[in-house]
Amino acid sequence: MSPIEEIVLEAAKGQPTVEIMFGQAHIGNYRFFLWDEAGQNARELAQGTNADEVVDTFQMDVAAATLNRRILSFEGLVQAAEARADNVYSLTVTVRQDGVVCQGGVIQDTGGFVDVKALLAFKRFRTT
């Protein structure tokens, strides 16, 4: 098993913010969880859809200094308006601290699908 990629935070800076963007004009639904260092005891941080008027950005409600070695997970579901063999999706998740993209703070995925595509990602925080 590969190690989980890291997002580097600075302990003295502000709480991280997370932005979610689904591309290609498809409907995207998402949930984010924060796990302890062992990958247990998940707590939901945010959930939403790009099909509403709510901005798909949230600020984490924990201080950066307390996130060292904790795990952020993302669950996403992309849905096409019409099932076709040539549908393409794209997803970008960006983690920022004080408005600056964190080292390792970008999750990107793109590819083909017919009608529904499930997405899952994990990143471990490292606080300096």
Q: Where are the domains of the chain?
A: 6-127
- Report the predicted TM-score, pTM, of the whole model to 2 decimal places: 0.90
Per-residue pLDDT of the chain (128 residues; tens, 9 = 90+): 457 899 999 999 999 999 999 887 788 999 999 999 999 999 999 999 988 877 799 999 999 999 999 999 999 999 998 899 999 999 999 999 999 999 999 999 999 999 999 999 999 999 99
Level-2 CATH architecture, domain 6-127: Sandwich (2.60)
Other C-beta atoms closer than 10 Å to the C-beta of 94 total 16
Check residue 50 and report its DSSP letter.
T
